[in-house]
Amino acid sequence: MSNPQQLRYTKEHEWLSTPEDGVATVGITEFAANALGDVVFAQLPEVGDTVTAGEACGELESTKSVSDLYAPVTGEVVETNQDVVDDPSLVNSAPYEGGWLFKVRVAEEPGELLTADEYQDFSGN
């Protein structure tokens, strides 16, 4: 499993892109997608919602379980991925690309975001 070097990661297995014009993209890691199994339903935050770093902002349902989706940063949601709502299996097939979940205008970043190497060590992969 390889986690893109340019992304940063959380211990809740989300990834965050480098903000462009203050807006960062959020998804879940390949490790998390594999652990969930086939994702069948994604409940994403809504555009305009303010999400708070470390707090649940949605959920992902798979065949076997449901998992909360945590916001990696605090900020306003500016876009959600309708493709994933229509076809949640994108989270499994392309977690770092077509399976992204939402975009957030970053207001505040927590200090503990991990680099790809740190996340690799953390997730044991």
Binding site for another protein (CB under 8 A): 34, 37-38, 40-41, 43, 59, 61, 63-66, 89, 92
- For the bound state, the minimum distance from the C-beta of residue 85 to another protein, rounded and expressed in Å, comes to 9
Closer of 68 and 97 to another protein (Cβ): 68
**Tokens representing residue 3 in the block:** 């986690």
- For the bound state, the minimum distance from the C-beta of residue 121 to another protein, rounded and expressed in Å, comes to 21
Closer of 61 and 76 to another protein (Cβ): 61
- For the bound state, the minimum distance from the C-beta of residue 67 to another protein, rounded and expressed in Å, comes to 12
79 SS3 class: strand
Look up tokens 């690799």; give the residue.
120
Alpha carbon distance 28, 32 (integer Å): 6
Closer of 37 and 110 to another protein (Cβ): 37
Element (H, E) at 49: none
Three-point CA angle 78, 113, 81, nearest 5°: 25
